[in-house]
Amino acid sequence: MTDKINIEVVYALPHEQTLLKLAVPQGSTVGQGLELSGILEKYPEIDLVKGKFGIFGKLSKLDVALRDTDRIEIYRPLLADPKEVRKRRAEEGKVMKKGGGDAPA
């Protein structure tokens, strides 16, 4: 049995996606996986303290132990709160359309 596990680290920007595959020591945490991947050097804007991270779409803390084939996802903050955008549209009297055209008369 090997003392390494295989993981992926993914980070998506509007015009660039990064997927890194690497082997880390068994028992490594999410935080250690991020550091070992080198992604923190490539993207210095990633903040381990304020940032949000997950494993396969589920939020995860940095001290969670990784399992073989886990994918660490780095989440970027939203530029606009979706609830606030809907609220503003409603205040402006704009209506969001559903579907692709006008309803038949």
- DSSP letters spanning 44-93: TT--TTT-EEEETTEEE-TTSBP-TT-EEEEEPPPSS-HHHHHHHHHHHT
Which class would CATH give 4-82? alpha beta
- 30-87: pLDDT as tens digits: 999 999 999 999 999 999 999 999 999 999 999 999 999 999 999 987 776 778 778 7
Q: Where are the domains of the chain?
A: 4-82
- 71-91: pLDDT as tens digits: 999 998 777 677 877 877 887
